[in-house]
Amino acid sequence: MEHPMNLTYLGVPGWLVLSVMWLIGLFFFWKQTSKAVKLIRLGQPENRQDNLGARTWEWLTGWLGQKKVLEDRVIGVLHVMIFWGFLMIGSDVFDLSTGGRFENMIVWVSPLLADLWNGMVELGYASAFLGASAALFRRVVLRPEKLRHEPQFEGNAILVTILTICATAFIVEAGENPSATWEPIGHMVAGWISDFTYFDILVIYSYWLHMACLAGFLIAIPASKHMHLVMAFPNVMFYDRDGLAVMKPMATGEDGKAVLIEELDLESFGAINYTDFSWRQLIDGWACTHCARCQDVCPAYESGKPLNPMTIVNDVREYANEHSALLLAGESPEENMVARFNPEAIWACTTCHACVDVCPVYIEHVPKLTETRRHLMMEAMEYPEELDVAMGNLEVNSNPYGFGPHERADWASDLNVKVAEPAEYIYFTGCAASFDERNKKVARATIQTLQEAGLDVGILGMEEGCSGDPARRAGNDFLFQMLAETNLATFQDLGVKKVIASCPHCFHTLGKEYAPYGGDELEVVHHSQIIAQLQEEGKLPVPSLDDKKVTFHDPCYLGRIGGFVDEPRQAIGGVDVEAERHGKASFCCGAGGAQMWMEEDADKRVNEIRAKELAATGADIVAVGCPFCSTMVSDGLDSTGNQMEVMDIAEIVWQTIKQNDQKIQALKSEEE
Instruction: Give the residue-averaged pLDDT of 71-79.
Output: 89
The answer, yes or no, to whether residue 259 has pLDDT greater than 70, is yes
List, as one string, the DSSP characters of 486-553.
Answer: HHHHHHHHHT--EEEESSHHHHHIIIIISGGGTTTT-EEEEHHHHHHHHHHTTSSPPP--TT--EEE-
**Of 473, 477, 450, 500, residue with least CA distance to 594:** 473
SS3 123: helix
**Helices vs. strands in the chain: H and E counts, helices first:** 29, 10
Percent of the chain with pLDDT over 90: 87
Contacts of 11 (CB under 8 A, 6+ apart): none
CATH topology of domain 386-536: Rossmann fold (3.40.50)
On the CB side of 623, CA atoms within 13 Å amount to 28
147: DSSP letter: G
What pLDDT is attached to residue 171? 94
pLDDT tens digits along 456-515: 999 999 999 999 999 999 999 999 999 999 999 999 999 999 999 999 999 999 999 999
Greater confidence, 237 or 194? 237
- Identify whether the C-beta of residue 25 lies closer than 8 Å to the C-beta of residue 219: yes
> 121-130, 220-229, 316-325, 535-544: lowest mean pLDDT where?
220-229
Q: For residue 657, what is the enclosing H or E element?
A: helix 649-671
pLDDT tens digits along 390-434: 999 999 999 999 999 999 999 999 999 999 999 999 999 999 999
**Model confidence band, residue 149 (pLDDT cutoffs 50, 70, 90):** low
- Identify whether the C-beta of residue 379 lies closer than 8 Å to the C-beta of residue 270: yes
What pLDDT is attached to residue 603? 82
**Of 629, 146, 598, 604, residue with least CA distance to 346:** 598
The answer, yes or no, to whether residue 597 has pLDDT greater than 90, is yes
> What whole-number distance in Å separates Cα of residue 635 and Cα of residue 624?
14
**Model confidence band, residue 669 (pLDDT cutoffs 50, 70, 90):** low
Average pLDDT of the chain, as a whole number = 94
**Of 38, 494, 467, residue with least CA distance to 279:** 38
**CATH code, residues 270-378:** 1.10.1060.10
pLDDT tens digits along 228-255: 989 999 999 999 999 999 999 999 998 8
**Model confidence band, residue 267 (pLDDT cutoffs 50, 70, 90):** confident
What residues pair up with 278 in beta bridges, in sequence order?
Answer: 44
pLDDT tens digits along 84-95: 999 999 999 999
SS3 143: coil
pLDDT tens digits along 271-305: 999 999 999 999 999 999 888 999 999 999 999 99
pLDDT tens digits along 332-364: 999 999 999 999 999 999 999 999 999 999 999
Q: For residue 623, what is the enclosing H or E element?
A: strand 621-624
